[in-house]
């Protein structure tokens, strides 16, 4: 994704039910973090620090809906 506009245009294909479920079910105390950012579940989605010390989505692994 190059920018916010592209993310918004592809939102429905990126933020699938599986991704939403991963975020909703993630226990904050069990989140993994390293120098790349913070991982939800098994790496379904990663958040990284952006300029201004804000977190943003850096990676979304989309899996086919079952």
pLDDT score of 50: 84
Beta bridge partners of 50: 54
pTM of the prediction? Answer: 0.70
- SS3 of the chain: the string is CCCHHHHHHCHHHHCCHHHHHHHHHCCHHHCEEECCEEEECCCCEEEEEECCCEEEEEEECCCCCC
pLDDT score of 65: 58
- Could you list the pLDDT tens digit for every one of the 66 residues in the chain? 567 898 899 999 888 888 888 889 999 898 999 988 999 988 888 999 888 888 888 888 776 655
């Amino acid at each position: 994704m190059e920018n916010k506009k592209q993310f918004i245009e592809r939102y429905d294909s990126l933020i699938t039910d599986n991704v939403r479920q991963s975020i909703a079910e993630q226990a904050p105390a069990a989140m993994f973090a390293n120098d790349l950012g913070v991982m939800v579940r098994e790496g379904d989605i990663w958040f990284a620090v952006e300029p201004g010390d804000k977190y943003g989505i850096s990676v979304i692994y989309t899996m086919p809906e079952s």
